[in-house]
């Protein structure tokens, strides 16, 4: 089953996102629990949540892939930023319990000038403070492009973080196609090989969701600039190959391409037409 959608705005609440998803042919979606810059979050209205859950059940939606704010940096060199990030993530996860059994995706963080080992240490110790064994949400580390001091470019870094996380059954990975391409994984000519490497280092059982984006830059550019589907260096054929891969084909796929809703609707339609059940 192809579960595909895009980022939607949370500003009008949960039911509004469900309706908007239906309008564009989506059966999953992503949203920021608060302004992506990280300000305060809206109060949850349980009636509104129930309406979304009804829409999702009636239309057989896949799991949602909620996105943490960009300002979160669990491994910052600034103790106040680390504390703030921990508080935001813990609060978001508490709120996620209102919509249980979905995903919460976050950027592992930037180690600034502290080095990757320090980054791994901070991220995992913060996750150990935040994740509870009872929570119904799986948190997803996003694969990153490796811009600046970004953590999570290599599968080994992700594995090292997971290894040091106590309740690691609550931790998975979201594969962003633009990011891993920019990070140096050749998903155009050797997607099977990339997945084999993912499997041997992290384990495919951890792969829970995909951000499907084309890239404005060539392989290994460490840039992270998304392109519309078919308008970048990855290209439409490789992206179609990815959504049809047996390891991917039932995962929620989120478009993060530079589009308005009509553009997303068209991309969803094109991808559906090229999906082989
Ligand atoms: Fe992201
Ligand atoms: Fe992404
Ligand atoms: Zn990106």
For the chain, how many structural domains are there in total?
1
Nearest Cα residue to 122 out of 161, 150, 179: 161
Ligand nearest to the CA of 179: 3
- 195-217: pLDDT as tens digits: 999 999 999 999 999 999 999 99
- CA R_g for the chain: 18
Task: Output the CA 15–ligand 2 centroid distance in Å.
Answer: 24
Q: Are 210 and 242 in contact (CB under 8 A)?
A: yes
Instruction: Please write the tens of the pLDDT for every residue from 123-139.
Output: 999 999 999 999 999 99
Q: What is the pLDDT of residue 36?
A: 63
Name the closest ligand to CA 146: 3
* CATH of residue 246: 3.20.20.150
Question: Longest C-alpha distance within the chain, in Å?
Answer: 49
Q: Taking Cα atoms as reference points, which of 234, 209, 212, 231 lies closest to residue 221?
A: 234
Q: Which of 11-15, 133-137, 191-195 has the lowest mean pLDDT?
A: 11-15
Phi, psi at 65, each rounded to 5°: -120, 85
Distance 176 CA to ligand 2 centre (A): 5
Residues around ion ligand 2, judged by CB within 5 A, are 176, 211
pTM: 0.97
The pLDDT of residue 177 is 98
What is the arrangement of strands in the sheet containing 65-67, beginning at the earlier edge strand?
Answer: 3-6, 252-255, 207-212, 171-176, 138-142, 103-106, 65-67
Distance 39 CA to ligand 2 centre (A): 20
Please report, for residues 103, 107, 183, 202, the alpha-carbon distance to residue 156 in angstroms, rounded to integers and kept in the order given. 22, 16, 13, 8
Give pLDDT, residue 40.
76
CA distance 65 to 252: 8
pLDDT-derived band of residue 44, with 50, 70 and 90 as boundaries?
A: confident
pLDDT tier at 43, thresholds 50, 70, 90? confident
Tell me which ligand sits closest to the C-alpha of residue 210: 2
* Tokens 């963080």 -> residue: 109
In the three-class reduction of DSSP (H, G, I as helix; E, B as strand; rest coil), residue 107 is classed as coil
Summarize pLDDT for 216-235 with one digit per residue, the tens: 999 999 999 999 999 999 99
pLDDT in the model for residue 38? 62
Mean pLDDT taken over the chain: 96
Q: Which range of residues forms the domain containing residue 263?
A: 3-273
DSSP E strand stretches across the chain: 3-6, 65-67, 103-106, 138-142, 171-176, 207-212, 214-215, 226-227, 252-255
Ligand closest to CA 226: 3
- Write out pLDDT tens, residues 85-101: 999 999 999 999 999 99
**Distance of alpha carbon 228 from alpha carbon 153, whole angstroms:** 22
């Amino acid at each position: 089953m192809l579960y595909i959608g895009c980022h939607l705005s949370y500003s009008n609440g949960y039911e509004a996102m469900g309706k908007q998803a239906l309008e564009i042919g989506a059966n999953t979606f992503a949203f920021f629990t608060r302004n992506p810059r990280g300000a305060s979050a809206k109060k949850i209205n349980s009636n509104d949540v129930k309406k979304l859950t009804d829409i999702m059940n009636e239309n057989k939606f896949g799991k949602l892939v909620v996105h943490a704010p960009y300002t979160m940096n669990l491994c910052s060199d600034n103790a106040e930023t680390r504390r703030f990030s921990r508080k935001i993530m813990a609060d978001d996860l508490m709120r996620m319990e209102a919509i249980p059994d979905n995903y919460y995706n976050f950027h592992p963080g930037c180690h600034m000038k502290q080095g990757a080992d320090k980054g791994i240490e901070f991220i995992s110790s913060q996750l150990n403070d935040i994740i509870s064994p009872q929570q119904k949400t799986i948190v997803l580390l996003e694969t990153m492009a490796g811009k600046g001091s970004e953590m999570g470019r290599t599968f080994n870094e992700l594995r090292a973080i997971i290894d040091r996380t106590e309740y690691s059954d609550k931790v998975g990975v979201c594969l962003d196609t633009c990011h891993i391409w920019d990070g140096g994984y050749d998903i155009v000519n050797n997607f099977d090989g990339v997945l084999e490497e993912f499997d041997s280092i992290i384990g495919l059982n951890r792969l829970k969701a995909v951000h499907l984006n084309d890239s404005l830059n060539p392989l290994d550019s460490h840039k992270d600039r998304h392109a519309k589907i078919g308008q970048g260096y990855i290209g439409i054929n490789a992206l179609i190959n990815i959504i049809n891969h047996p390891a991917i084909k039932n995962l929620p796929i989120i478009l993060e391409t530079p589009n308005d809703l009509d553009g997303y609707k068209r991309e969803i339609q094109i991808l559906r037409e090229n999906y082989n059940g």
